[in-house]
Amino acid sequence: MEESIEDLFRNLPDEILGCIVSFLPNEHALETSLISTRWRDLWNQILVKHGTIEDITGIVAQFLTNFDVFDPLKRPRKLQFHFDDDNALFAAIAANSKLLLDFSYKKKKLERKYELEFNLNKQHFTYNLVPQTFLVKSLYLKSLSYLTSEVASSIVSNLDHLENLVITDCCGLQSLFIESESKLHKLTILDCLQLKSLHLRTSKLKSFRYRGPLPRIWPESHFNLCHAILDVRQGLSCSDLIAQDFDETLLTIKNSEVLTLCGWIFEALIWPSISPSSGSFIFYKLRELWWIDNHENENSANALVSFLKLCPALEQLFVMIDPKSYYVPRSNSGLMQANKYTKILEQLKLIKFMGFTNPMDEISVAKNLIQLVKGKPPKIETSCGTYLDLMLMQ
């Protein structure tokens, strides 16, 4: 019986399918991994090499040099480099000058603690006279460990044009120092659960996103963030951190336009520093605020009201309740005074609640917040997507 076109097509071997996939632009190629279990890894037409850990820096440099940005189909965009007995690095190049270095082969979690230094200021002579056509502007580093930390340092120090650095899932990373006084604009650190110390000499930094327990942060050269996320629901990394230790970081977020903050940071680390001079520390430019708190915290509403009094330009407020978020138990931070309401929010257009389980709580918080609003009341969206009309609630 003659096979139909469909049958013939279905029975194409992996190499052929992989060839078609390799002609898709990166993000679309990635999507093909969802087609079926057989297609899961076809997009990974990978250049596979073997060697030792010492070879990695050279191999990655060569991988970057060989990548012809004008003819990306001819050279490998993906590299899987096997080293040691059972370890591998996956490197990939993506659109918009992105480089991914994923060390999470076989999901090994090596717990041994280590420190990391990224020095992007070094003046160094370019050894290779072959001009690099591919300049890495965004680097995504995943799952470093004590074994691969030096390699990562050495690779990063060669990326003169790096503007955006993302570091995730680095188990064992205790201390991180980054120096880049001219180019680095965006820094993202996610889920490095052992991080205790973050030292930044990054005077051009504009966007900082952090998720994990709060480490001791030292912004050595002051920078003014436009966009900051401090998602520290897991609490403190060092239990001896006091408000004073947070002052320099506070100065970096003071002029931000978009900010994500956990309630406990405000109560424990910000309020004690600014309350003596209350009224003079204002977040002048803040237009969008994401506030994360635990509703178990009795001070939660008071903390939010106190903070909002410092945000005259606020346009959008997102209040997220997470029952797993850390909160400061029964603090006597003087937030009780927050009951004095001044109508300071003239620009507020939207309040959105997320994660509330009890609608009565939303109404109660909304009633408090409305007292701060001057002029037209904002739209208030609840956790289930409906809109509150407080006039009806009175």
Residues 6+ apart with CB under 8 A from 238: 196, 215, 216
21 binds another protein (CB under 8 A): yes
Q: Are 201 and 220 in contact (CB under 8 A)?
A: yes
Query: What is the closest distance, in whole angstroms, from the C-beta atom of residue 56 to another protein in the complex?
Result: 20
At residue 52, φ and ψ (nearest 5 deg) are: -110, 170
Site for another protein (CB under 8 A): which residue of 1, 6, 130, 387? 6
> Binding-site residue total for another protein (CB under 8 A)?
45
Name the one residue in this structure whose structure tokens are 């309040």: 351
Q: Which is nearer to another protein, 37 or 332 (CB)?
A: 37
Question: Minimum distance between the CB of residue 250 and another protein, rounded to whole angstroms?
Answer: 24
Which residue in the set 1, 36, 324, 392 belongs to the binding site for another protein (CB under 8 A)? Answer: 36
Among the listed ranges 6-14, 287-295, 342-350, 361-369, the one in contact with another protein (CB under 8 A) is 6-14
Instruction: Name residue, tokens 């400061």.
Output: 328
25 binds another protein (CB under 8 A): yes
Contacts of 352 (CB under 8 A, 6+ apart): 316, 317, 318, 319, 380, 381
Angstrom distance (rounded) from CA 103 to CA 97? 20
- Residue 24 binding another protein, by CB under 8 A: yes
32 sits near another protein (criterion: CB under 8 A): yes
19 binds another protein (CB under 8 A): yes
91 in contact with another protein (CB under 8 A): no
Choices 80-88, 117-125, 163-171, 247-255; region in contact with another protein by CB under 8 A = 163-171
> What angle, 0 to 180 degrees and rounded to 10, lies between the N-to-C axes of helices 300-308 and 359-370?
30
**Token couple for 62:** 């060569």
If phi > 0 it is left, if psi is from -120 to 50 it is alpha, else beta; for residue 379 that is: beta
350 belongs to the binding site for another protein (CB under 8 A): no
- Selected binder of another protein within 80, 138, 180, 333 (CB under 8 A): 138
User: Cβ closer to another protein: 78 or 196?
Assistant: 78
Stretch that binds another protein, among 37-45, 232-240, 282-290, 300-308 (CB under 8 A): 37-45
CB-based burial, 61-91: b 16+ in 10 Å, e otherwise:
bebbebbeeeeeeeebbbbbbebeeebbbbb
12 vs 238, beta carbon nearer another protein: 12
In this structure, the chain runs to a length of 394
Would you say 162 or 236 has its CB closer to another protein?
162
Contact call for residue 12 and another protein (CB under 8 A): yes
Query: Tokens 């009175």 identify what position?
Result: 394
Neighbours of 6 (CB within 10 A): 8
Q: How far is the CB of 108 from another protein (least distance, A)?
A: 16
Binding site for another protein (CB under 8 A): 5-10, 12, 16-17, 19-28, 30-40, 73, 92, 94-96, 98, 100, 102, 138, 140, 142, 164, 166, 168, 186
